[in-house]
Chain A
Amino acid sequence: MRILVVEDDKDVASFVVKGLKEAGHAVEHTDNGRDGLFMAASENFDAIILDRMLPGGIDGLRLLETLRAQDNVTPVLFLSALGQVDDRVKGLKAGGDDYLTKPFAFAELLARVEALTRRGKSDGPTTRLAVGDLEMDLLSRSVRRGAQKIELQPREFRLLEYLMRHAGQVVTRTMLLEGVWDYHFDPQTNVIDVHISRLRQKIDKPFDQPLLHTVRNAGYMLRVEEP
Chain B
Amino acid sequence: MKRKARSAGMGGMAGDKRRLRPLIRSAGVRFALAYALVFGVSAFILAFSIWYSTLGLLQHQVEAEVRADEFGLLEHESMGGLGALTVAIANRMADAANVNAIYLLVDPTGRPMIGNLDSWPRGLTGLREWYELPVQRQGVASVALMRATLFPDGSRLLVGRDVQARSELRLILRDALIWAFGIMVALGAFGALLIRSLFRRIIQDVAETTRAISRGELSRRVPVSGVGDEFDELAVVINDMLERLGRLMDGVRQVSNAIAHDLRTPVARARTRLEDAALHAHTPETMSAAIERAISDLDGITGIFEALLRISEIEAGSRRAAFAAVDLAPMLHDMDELYAAVAEERGLKLDTSISGPLPVIGDRQLVQQAVANLLDNALKFSPINGVIRFQAQRHEQVVEIVVADRGPGIPEKERARATERFYRGEAARHTQGSGLGLSLVAAVAQLHGGTLYLGDNQVPDEPNTGLRAVLVLPANVPPLKFVAASLPRRS
Chain A residues within CB distance 8 Å of chain B: 83-86, 89, 101, 103, 105, 153, 155, 181-191, 194-195, 197-198, 217
Query: Is A187 a contact of B292 with CB atoms below 8 Å?
Result: no
Query: Is A191 a contact of B339 with CB atoms below 8 Å?
Result: yes
Q: How many angstroms from the CA of A105 to the CA of B300 in the assembled complex?
A: 13
Q: Which residues of A contact B298 (CB under 8 A)?
A: 103
Query: Is A84 a contact of B376 with CB atoms below 8 Å?
Result: no
Q: Which residues of B contact A194 (CB under 8 A)?
A: 341-342, 345
Q: Does B146 contact A (CB under 8 A)?
A: no
Which among B322, B334, B342, B437 is the interface contact of A190 at CB below 8 angstroms?
Answer: B342
Q: Does B210 contact A (CB under 8 A)?
A: no
Query: Is B342 a contact of A184 with CB atoms below 8 Å?
Result: no
Contact segment of B105-113, B167-175, B261-269, B302-310: B302-310
Query: Is B334 a contact of A85 with CB atoms below 8 Å?
Result: no
Q: How many angstroms from the CA of A187 to the CA of B306 in the assembled complex?
A: 12
Query: Is A188 a contact of B342 with CB atoms below 8 Å?
Result: no
The 5 closest A-B pairs by CB, nearest first: A188-B376, A194-B342, A194-B341, A187-B372, A194-B345
Q: How many angstroms from the CA of A155 to the CA of B340 in the assembled complex?
A: 13
Q: Which residues of A contact B345 (CB under 8 A)?
A: 194, 197
Known pairs A189-B339, A194-B342; A181 contacts B334 (CB<8 A): yes
Query: Is A187 a contact of B341 with CB atoms below 8 Å?
Result: no
Q: Of all chain B residues, which has the CB nearest A153?
A: B337
Mark B367-380 against chain A: 1 for CB-CB distance below 8 A, else 0.
Answer: 01100110110011
Q: Does B433 contact A (CB under 8 A)?
A: yes
Query: Is B313 a contact of A85 with CB atoms below 8 Å?
Result: yes
19 contacts between A and B (CB under 8 A): A85-B322, A103-B302, A155-B338, A181-B334, A183-B368, A183-B372, A185-B365, A185-B372, A187-B376, A188-B376, A188-B433, A189-B375, A189-B379, A189-B380, A190-B342, A191-B342, A195-B341, A198-B341, A217-B292
Q: Of all chain B residues, which has the CB nearest A197?
A: B345
Q: Does B319 contact A (CB under 8 A)?
A: yes
Q: Which residues of A contact B341 (CB under 8 A)?
A: 191, 194-195, 198
Q: Does B225 contact A (CB under 8 A)?
A: no
Q: How many angstroms from the CA of A188 to the CA of B436 in the assembled complex?
A: 11
Q: How many angstroms from the CA of A149 to the CA of B202 in the assembled complex?
A: 82
Query: Is A189 a contact of B342 with CB atoms below 8 Å?
Result: yes
Known pairs A181-B338, A190-B342, A194-B345; A85 contacts B372 (CB<8 A): no
Query: Is B369 a contact of A85 with CB atoms below 8 Å?
Result: no
Q: How many residues of B contact A (CB 8 A)?
A: 30
Q: Does B214 contact A (CB under 8 A)?
A: no
Known pairs A84-B309, A184-B365, A186-B303; A195 contacts B372 (CB<8 A): no
Q: Which residues of A contact B337 (CB under 8 A)?
A: 153, 155
Give the shortest distance, in Å, between B444 (CB) and chain A (any CB): 12
Interface positions, chain B 293-342, Cβ under 8 Å from A, are: 298-299, 302-303, 306, 309-310, 313, 318-319, 322, 334, 337-339, 341-342
Q: Which residues of B contact A84 (CB under 8 A)?
A: 309, 313
Q: Which residues of A contact B342 (CB under 8 A)?
A: 189-191, 194
Q: Which residues of B contact A198 (CB under 8 A)?
A: 341
Interface centre among A101, A187, A197 (most CB of B within 10 A): A187
Query: Is A83 a contact of B292 with CB atoms below 8 Å?
Result: no
Q: How many angstroms from the CA of A84 to the CA of B315 in the assembled complex?
A: 13
Give the shortest distance, in Å, between B447 (CB) and chain A (any CB): 12
Q: How many angstroms from the CA of A138 to the CA of B437 in the assembled complex?
A: 39
Known pairs A194-B342, A195-B338; A83 contacts B309 (CB<8 A): yes
Q: How many angstroms from the CA of A153 to the CA of B341 in the assembled complex?
A: 12
Q: Which residues of A contact B302 (CB under 8 A)?
A: 103
Query: Is A83 a contact of B306 with CB atoms below 8 Å?
Result: yes
Q: Which residues of B contact A181 (CB under 8 A)?
A: 334, 338
Q: Of all chain B residues, which has the CB nearest A89?
A: B322
Which among A101, A185, A188 is the interface contact of B380 at CB below 8 angstroms?
Answer: A188
Q: Which residues of A contact B368 (CB under 8 A)?
A: 183
Q: Which residues of A contact B433 (CB under 8 A)?
A: 188
Q: Which residues of A contact B303 (CB under 8 A)?
A: 186
Query: Is B375 a contact of A155 with CB atoms below 8 Å?
Result: no
Give the shortest distance, in Å, between B374 (CB) and chain A (any CB): 11
Which among B322, B334, B369 is the interface contact of A185 at CB below 8 angstroms?
Answer: B369
Query: Is B319 a contact of A191 with CB atoms below 8 Å?
Result: no
Q: Of all chain B residues, which has the CB nearest A181?
A: B338
Q: How many angstroms from the CA of A198 to the CA of B341 in the assembled complex?
A: 8
Q: Which residues of B contact A184 (CB under 8 A)?
A: 365
Q: Which residues of B contact A185 (CB under 8 A)?
A: 310, 365, 369, 372
Q: Which residues of A contact B292 (CB under 8 A)?
A: 217
Q: Of all chain B residues, which has the CB nearest A188?
A: B376
Q: How many angstroms from the CA of A194 to the CA of B339 in the assembled complex?
A: 9
Give the shortest distance, in Å, between A174 (CB) and chain B (any CB): 12
Give the shortest distance, in Å, between A196 (CB) and chain B (any CB): 10
Give the shortest distance, in Å, between B421 (CB) and chain A (any CB): 16
Q: How many angstroms from the CA of A89 to the CA of B321 in the assembled complex?
A: 12
Query: Is A189 a contact of B376 with CB atoms below 8 Å?
Result: yes
Known pairs A155-B337, A194-B342; A188 contacts B437 (CB<8 A): yes
Give the shortest distance, in Å, between A27 (CB) and chain B (any CB): 23
Q: How many angstroms from the CA of A83 to the CA of B308 in the assembled complex?
A: 12
Q: How many angstroms from the CA of A54 to the CA of B299 in the assembled complex?
A: 25
